[in-house]
Amino acid sequence: MYELFLNACRNNTDVSDYRWTISKDDINFFNDCLKIFKQNSVETLLDIGTGIGNLVKICSDNEIDAYGIDPIVSEVHPRLYQGTMATVIENQHLLGESKFSCISCVNFLHGKDHKDQEIISLFEFMKTKADYILITEPNISSEAKVTCMSNLQLLHSFQRSHGGAYHSFYKVLK
């Protein structure tokens, strides 16, 4: 079910994108995420905006069924798929009743180019299709943030990483 959904999310993005060099702090953050995932029995992960896929690779190497999706897939890896937030939202019906244990969106939600409605739609998807979410605090209006953060219970706040971004792990409340 996951692969049908992920393959449908593919788009024809032709973007010149700069990928930051992964630092020791980034790898430490991803390893900290793994610890929190294990403590909360996360078995499946969808990493939206996966970049070069380090979180997916670390999780896959540690028995979490992890997948990543990004507009620019810079290397061939069986768990990395091309797509965007918009294609994820457009194709969510392909998941049917399937869910991920956790959906993560880190190191890009704090950007300034997001529109409130696209982030609200992303959060609606995440809250419907996951038991937990790992996010970087989104840079949106205070009204949109209230909508996005409703029905989420903070379980863990991580140290700042990747240029000072704040990351948090939430349980989705039903």
Q: Which domains does the chain have, with CATH numbers?
A: 2-11+33-172 (3.40.50.150)
Is the per-residue pLDDT at 124 higher than 50?
yes
pLDDT at residue number 20: 46
User: What residues have CB less than 8 Å from 172, skipping those under 6 apart?
Assistant: 126, 127, 130, 131, 132, 133, 151, 152
pLDDT, mean over the chain: 85
The model carries a pTM of 0.85
pLDDT at residue number 15: 46
Sign of CA dihedral 106, 115, 93, 4: negative
pLDDT at residue number 112: 61
